[in-house]
């Protein structure tokens, strides 16, 4: 691993079966980063508790997401894949970092204000500390690089400031200031062609859906709203189906669709059929791998438990430095 450029950490809440938005927005990039970096990918179940109404599906969602991650090409032999709550050191670091965090800074964050708006009856203490826990995730593993979407920029900036405060307050360099690596991706809209693809809006296409389900969802995708009749020329640049073609279809087909759509040479139904076929072909090896992994759930949990063991080793080493820097009496084990 020493030939690699540095350490990457990223986390995602356990939302169960992943969809095209998750794939293009994060997973694809997670896979690619393994070539150049030592990668640590975490299923952040503790973060999920800040917003969940019930936890009945938490375990299953954790499992389903792990299946998708592994099937898509995250390689647990070289990368660490684990569940956040399996490394309890993160909650300890969260507490220690909270002591150098001004409360107002947390309540001023746009992400916090948004949660107060969306769940006014559940503004829990954990929600306020969400960015502190996220900082603990990153710095516990001394990750230099954090691939996330732009929406997470305030959290990464918060993490950087928190590291500076901690290091200054305790005159140490135990913690490393992480850099954000913004994932450059096409904006993935849902099948409504209006809003960002997401499970809660039920406008998503799951990677693990059957080819039939996938085709059905694709056929219901909203295209250029100004193209009312088959004979109207279309505008690929505003069409979400075209955006997807650019990702999943061969270049010649993309340029054919581009020109034919503009002169009403191809209709939306045909265009979507082509996209469905290309998408299904692209996902087929993924689905095969996923089904194979799903034959043996214990082996999937073993992968996560092994990841947690490796993660705890790094975490414990960091915590020893952190405790020493603060002046806490060392733990006798």
**Interface residues toward ligand TRP, by CB under 6 A:** 9-13, 44, 47, 134, 137-138, 146, 148, 152, 155
Residue 145 backbone dihedrals phi, psi, to 5 degrees:
-130, 135
- b/e per residue, 168-190, with b = 16+ CB within 10 A? eebeeebbbbbebbebebeebbb
Query: 3-state class of 165 per DSSP?
Result: helix
- Please give the structure tokens belonging to residue 24: 């293009």
131 within 8 A of 155, measured Cβ to Cβ:
yes
Least separation, in Å, of the C-beta of 82 and ligand TRP?
12
Q: Residue by residue, what is the 3-state secondary structure of 52-104?
A: CCCCCCHHHHHHHHHHHHHHHCCCCCCCEEEEHHHCCHHHHHHHHHHCCCCHH
Beta bridge partners of residue 41, listed in sequence order: 10, 81
State which residue, 159 or 279, has the beta carbon closest to ligand TRP.
159
Least separation, in Å, of the C-beta of 51 and ligand TRP?
10
Least separation, in Å, of the C-beta of 104 and ligand TRP?
20
Question: What DSSP line would sit under 250-284, residue for residue?
Answer: -HHHHHHHHHHHHTTSS-HHHHHHHHHHHHHHHHH
- b/e per residue, 228-243, with b = 16+ CB within 10 A? eeeeeebebeebbbbb
State which residue, 156 or 325, has the beta carbon closest to ligand TRP.
156
State which residue, 11 or 190, has the beta carbon closest to ligand TRP.
11
State which residue, 43 or 100, has the beta carbon closest to ligand TRP.
43
The Cβ-side half-sphere exposure at 332, using a 13 Å CA radius, reads 0
40 within 8 A of 80, measured Cβ to Cβ:
yes
Least separation, in Å, of the C-beta of 147 and ligand TRP?
8
Least separation, in Å, of the C-beta of 238 and ligand TRP?
28
The residue of the chain with the least Cβ separation from ligand TRP equals 11
Least separation, in Å, of the C-beta of 84 and ligand TRP?
7
Least separation, in Å, of the C-beta of 11 and ligand TRP?
3
State which residue, 32 or 299, has the beta carbon closest to ligand TRP.
32
Least separation, in Å, of the C-beta of 327 and ligand TRP?
27
Beta bridge partners of residue 180, listed in sequence order: 146
State which residue, 12 or 67, has the beta carbon closest to ligand TRP.
12
- How far apart (Å, rounded) are the C-alpha atoms in residues 223 and 240? 6
State which residue, 137 or 224, has the beta carbon closest to ligand TRP.
137
State which residue, 98 or 287, has the beta carbon closest to ligand TRP.
98
């Amino acid at each position: 691993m020493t030939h690699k450029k540095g350490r990457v950490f990223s986390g995602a809440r356990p939302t169960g079966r992943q969809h095209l938005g998750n794939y293009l927005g994060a997973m694809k990039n997670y896979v690619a980063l393994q070539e150049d970096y030592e990668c640590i990918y975490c299923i952040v179940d503790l973060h999920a508790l800040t917003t969940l109404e019930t936890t009945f599906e938490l375990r299953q969602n954790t499992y389903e997401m792990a299946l998708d991650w592994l099937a898509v090409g995250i390689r647990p032999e070289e990368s660490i894949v684990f569940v956040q709550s399996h490394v309890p050191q993160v909650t300890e670091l969260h507490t220690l970092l909270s002591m150098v965090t001004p409360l107002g800074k947390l309540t001023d964050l746009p992400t916090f204000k948004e949660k107060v708006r969306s769940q006014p009856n559940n503004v829990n203490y954990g929600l306020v500390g969400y960015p502190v826990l996220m900082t603990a995730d990153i710095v516990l593993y001394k990750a230099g690089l954090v691939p996330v979407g732009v929406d997470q920029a305030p959290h990464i900036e918060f993490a950087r400031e928190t590291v500076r405060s901690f290091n200054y307050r305790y005159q140490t360099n135990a913690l490393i200031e992480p850099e954000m690596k913004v994932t450059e991706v096409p904006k993935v809209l849902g099948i409504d062609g209006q809003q960002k693809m997401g499970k809660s809006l039920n406008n998503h296409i799951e990677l693990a859906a059957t080819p039939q389900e996938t085709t059905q969802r694709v056929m219901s995708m909203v295209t250029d709203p100004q193209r009312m009749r088959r004979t109207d020329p279309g505008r690929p640049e505003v069409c979400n189906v075209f955006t997807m073609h650019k990702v999943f279809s061969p270049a010649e087909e993309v340029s054919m669709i581009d020109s034919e759509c503009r002169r009403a040479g191809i209709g939306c139904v045909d265009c979507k059929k082509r996209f469905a076929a290309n998408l299904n072909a692209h996902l087929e090896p993924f689905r095969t791998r996923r089904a194979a992994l799903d034959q043996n759930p214990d082996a999937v949990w073993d992968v996560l438990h092994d990841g947690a063991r490796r993660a705890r080793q790094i975490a414990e080493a960091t915590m020893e430095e952190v405790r020493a820097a603060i002046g806490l009496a060392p733990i006798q084990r």
